[in-house]
Amino acid sequence: MDSPDTDWAGVRLHVVTGKGGTGKTTVAAALALALASGGRKVLLVEVEGRQGIAQIFDLPPLPYEERKIAVAPSGGDVFALSIDPEAAMLEYMEMFYGMRSAGRALTKMGIVDFATTVAPGFRDVLVTGKTTEAVRRRGRNGRRIYDAVVLDAPPTGRIARFLNVTQEVAGLAKVGPIKNHSELVNNVVKSPETAVHFVTLLEEMPVQETLDGIAELRAAGLPAGGIFVNMVRESLLPQAALDTAVKGRFDAGELVLGLKAAGVADGAEATAMAEALAEEVVEHAHRTELEKAERASLAEAGLKSYELPLLADGVDLAGLYELAESMRTQGAA
Amino acid sequence: MKKPATLDIDAILDDQGTRIIVCCGAGGVGKTTTAAALGLRAAERGRCVVVLTVDPARRLAQSMGLTELDNTPRLVSSPEGGGQLFAMMLDMKRTFDEIIEAHADPERARQILSNPFYQSLSSSFSGTQEYMAMEKLGQLRRSDEWDLIIVDTPPSRNALDFLDAPERLGRFLDGRFIRLLTAPAKAGGRSAFRLLNAGFGLMAGAMTKLLGAQVIKDLQTFVSALDAVFGGFRQRAEMTYQLLQAPGTAFLVVAAPERDAMREASYFVERLAEERMPLAGLVVNRVHVSPAPALSAARSAAAAEDLESRGEHELTAAVLRLHAGRMQLTARESREQEHFASAHPTVPVVQVRAMSEDVHDLTGLRQIGDLLATA
């Protein structure tokens, strides 16, 4: 069931990355809800074993198993999967070689521990392998099981390497099963069916990392998707007021009158409060200026950009639905 | 509820017995900035400091007057009073290479350095960064050139990877599996797998199927060469671990007043206690404050609504809305901190208020240092 009216029609694997603290997992979860709405089936995948999805949806820790965790607006299902590299490796061995008991023995020997943590790139291949398998999987009717898969991926600094699996294992495995497997992954990841989205805040460091990440991705021939600007505060003040505030003093006189009129404060108290509030306005104006500059830098990347509101009460289930709705209105899903 | 004790940063920095400060915490909470600000402050209070950072933003390096940080400590500032600040950025591959070069004869070193397995391990295995950070810390400490080392921890997948990775790598390299793989070197070059019993044979077959024969061969070369160089990886990991537990070490957990970061901070505090690592306290960065705290969010919003409904004082109404939002945010941030404090009432805390701009120079770092010390 394609949705040609969105910006990412035809994309089946949405990879969501971002600098720590930008709300990557939240955005991935909201995107999964948004993509599922209207009766579609979406899988939300996490790979770093942090159980972030369970926390956001207020669920007990997720097992290594696809299970339904939420119903999207106007019908549609979100499934979730927390990929554990060790379990993925055992599954992989069983699937490709029918070696379940050997797998267990290898675990005992510490070989699975080795392969999933020390063998370079192997962990990433397992994780991306499982994810792309879910993307490709078809039901008996020949149709894909999932309309979309959303991957809560490693942070921006690691994303290009994480997705560039063939490069990762190239030095190690020139032939053999890992090589074949990584090529299978590569076919999905580098296809138009994949988009890598960046989550950022309107702050210097996350914006810089986003731009660096996009450049790295492009250099690796991986498909950059959109930019999700998270936690955007709506601007309440008129531009003229912001302009005077940013230049220097914001006149508290008008506020004194207003505070008195509203019955909030009187006399000297009103003056003191107005001055304190004026200070807050000046701070806000400076921040707004900086945000404008960051927005301009982001625009240079030439990607589609979506702004998500700051959730006043923090991230809860209602907040996720709000973000999902916002994504849909903006055409992200 | 009882307010937690205030973390006295200057007492830690001025204590000549403090030799290592480890800043740990979730990604994106300002760990590296905190480490750099602490370094500058300590130097300005007369200590000879080196800040070892794992992955600084370019701007932070620039804020210390360095266009680029590399694997060698560079002088950042020599303030009056005899103190000095050095900074360096961990180059994990370089650090690994240096260990190999220092411990192996040239031929063996060459053999290891050109091994594809070594190249991947030294540049892209996620645990290597943690391992090398700890290795570098040990080197700096042993050199005794600095009387205070401040290190920020790698942005790990999992909170305390920097504690676990060395042990994990050590366990692996000293493990049975490695003994198995290195057997041919010790048995005069004959295949390890032929010497082993049927059970091991099955295992070897599985490994070969899984990884491919070439990988196994490269791995064998690598491990046997490395084994000869390192002796006991595990022993090394153990030494680093003990260094961290020593009385001269102070752990600072860094967080931001948000749910995820505070949850992670809680986890850190618990893990550090489990490992008997000396926790100094919690630094909460980016705490929002309002210049008009007396006017509550509810009252501010109600007044705004009142003005709006009367169609008067539009600007004041907008400012009141802005203020209500700010107060809501500060209330939420306090709640997150209270959660932490009630779970960990004995952990001293210091708050650093949010700045409107990122740090761009030493003045900015100094300002953060002041906030850290005088909160």
Number of domains chain A is built from: 2
Measured between alpha carbons, how far is A171 from A78 in angstroms, rounded to an integer? Answer: 38
Same domain for A128 and A268, yes or no, is: no
Contacts of B306 in chain A (CB under 8 A): 262-263
Of the candidates B127, B315, B318, the beta carbon closest to that of A117 is on B127
Degrees to nearest 5, angle at CA B172 with B169 and B174: 105
Tell me: do A129 and A253 sit in the same domain: no
Identify the CA nearest to B30 among candidates B364, B374, B375: B364
Instruction: DSSP letter for A49, please.
Output: S
CA distances from B210 to A163, B82, B192, B222 (A): 21, 59, 17, 18
Q: How many residues does chain A have?
A: 333
Chain B contact for A205, CB < 8 A? yes
Binned average pLDDT, 10 residues per bin, chain A of 333 residues: 74 94 94 96 90 91 93 94 85 71 67 60 82 94 96 90 77 66 88 97 91 94 95 89 87 94 93 95 92 96 96 85 96 95
Residue A278: its pLDDT value, please? Answer: 95
Measured distance CA(B188)–CA(B184) in Å, rounded: 6
Structural domain range at position A248: 239-287
Q: Domain check: are A227 and A246 in the same one?
A: no
A196 backbone dihedrals φ, ψ, rounded to 5°: -105, 115
| End-to-end Cα separation, chain B, in angstroms | 19
- pLDDT (tens digit per residue) in B308-329: 999 999 999 999 999 999 999 9
Instruction: Say if residue A137 is in the same domain as residue A215.
Output: yes
Q: Are the C-beta atoms of residues A37 and A71 closer than 8 Å to each other?
A: no
Are B124 and A259 in contact (CB < 8 Å)? no
State whether A189 and A278 are in the same domain: no
Mean pLDDT, chain B, integer: 82
CB of A177 within 8 Å of a chain B CB? The answer is: yes
Instruction: Tell me the pLDDT band of B130, cut-offs 50, 70 and 90.
Output: confident
Q: Is residue A305 domain-resident? A: no
Give yes or no for B241 touching A (CB within 8 A): no
Residue type, B116: P
pLDDT at B191: 43
Residue A294 lies in a domain: no
Q: What is the pLDDT of residues B171-206, one digit of tens each?
A: 666 666 666 665 544 444 344 444 344 455 556 666
Please state, in angstroms and rounded to a whole number, the distance separating the CA atoms of residues A206 and A284. Answer: 20
Interface check A322 vs B, CB under 8 A: no
Q: Is residue A135 part of a domain?
A: yes
Where do the H-state alpha helices sit in chain B?
9-14, 31-44, 58-63, 92-103, 106-113, 116-124, 126-143, 161-173, 176-186, 192-195, 198-211, 213-230, 233-245, 259-274, 297-310, 314-343, 362-374
B307·A258 Cβ contact <8 A: yes
Res. B161: pLDDT tops 70: no
Please indicate, yes or no, whether residues A37 and A110 belong to a single structural domain of this protein.
yes
Q: Which of B253, B218, B244 is CA-nearest to residue B114? A: B218
| A121 and A270 together in one domain | no
Answer whether residue A293 is part of any domain. no
The residue with tokens 């003994």 is: B179
Asked if residue A47 is part of any domain, the answer here is yes
If asked whether residues A203 and A167 sit together in one domain, one would say: yes
Q: Kindly state the tokens that stand for A68.
A: 């339904």
Same domain, residue pair A126 and A174: yes
Higher pLDDT, B205 or B364: B364
Q: Reduce the DSSP state of residue A200 to 3 states and report it.
A: strand
Residues 6+ apart with CB under 8 A from A269: none
Is B231 touching A (CB cutoff 8 A)? no
CB neighbours of A133 closer than 8 A, spacing ≥ 6? none
Q: Chain A contact for B358, CB < 8 A?
A: yes
Note which residues in 142-161 of chain A have CB less than 8 A from chain B: 154-155, 157, 161
- Whether residue A228 lies inside any domain: the answer is yes
Of B178, B176, B154, nearest to B165 by C-alpha is: B154
The alpha-carbon gap from B4 to the nearest alpha carbon of chain A, in Å, equals: 24
Report the distance separating Cα A152 and Cα B157, nearest Å: 13
Handedness of CA B352, B23, A209, B340 (dihedral sign): negative
Q: Is the Cβ pair A173, B215 closer than 8 Å?
A: yes
Lowest-pLDDT range of B53-62, B104-113, B185-194, B293-302: B185-194
Tokens read off for A147? 């309309």
Residue B216 to residues B173, B223, B331, Cα–Cα distance (Å): 15, 10, 57
Beta carbons of A326 and A333 less than 8 angstroms apart: no
Residues of chain A positioned with their CB less than 8 A from the CB of B297: none
CB contact under 8 A, A172 and B207: no
Q: Do A261 and B120 touch (CB under 8 A)?
A: no
A128 and A165 Cβ atoms separated by less than 8 Å:
yes
Instruction: Report the distance separating Cα B280 and Cα B274, nearest Å.
Output: 15
B121 to A172: CB separation less than 8 angstroms, yes or no: no
Q: Are residues A158 and A259 in the same domain?
A: no
According to DSSP, residue A118 is labeled I
Specify the CATH number for the domain of residue A81.
3.40.50.300
- Inspect the interface and report whether the beta carbons of B215 and A178 lie closer than 8 Å: yes
Cβ atoms < 10 Å from Cβ of A28? 27
Q: For position A102, what pLDDT does the model report? A: 67
Q: What is the pLDDT of residue A205?
A: 85
Comparing CA positions, the residue from A86, A85, A114, A125 lying closest to residue B207 is A114
Side-chain-side CA neighbours of A217 within 13 Å: the count stands at 30
Asked whether residue A111 is domain-assigned, the answer is: yes
User: Between chains, do A205 and B357 touch, taking CB under 8 Å as contact?
Assistant: no
> Does residue A282 lie within any of the structural domains?
yes
Tell whether A89 and A177 lie within a shared domain: yes
Pairing of strands A77-82, A67-71: antiparallel
Gyration radius (Cα) of chain A, Å:
24
> How much is the average pLDDT of B48-71?
78
The sign of the CA dihedral A264, A269, A274, A276 is: negative
Chain B residues in contact with A121 by the CB 8 A cut-off are 120, 124
Shortest CA distance from A18: residue in chain B? B28
Residue B74 has pLDDT above 60, yes or no: yes
Q: Is the same domain home to A206 and A321? A: yes
User: CA-to-CA distance for B164 and A49, rounded, in angstroms?
Assistant: 15
Q: Read off the pLDDT band of B165 (50, 70, 90).
A: low
What pLDDT is stored for residue A181 in this prediction?
79
Q: Do B203 and A105 touch (CB under 8 A)?
A: yes
**Greater pLDDT, B234 or B281:** B281
Those of residues 81-110 in A touching chain B at CB distance below 8 A are 93, 97, 99, 102-103, 105-106, 109-110
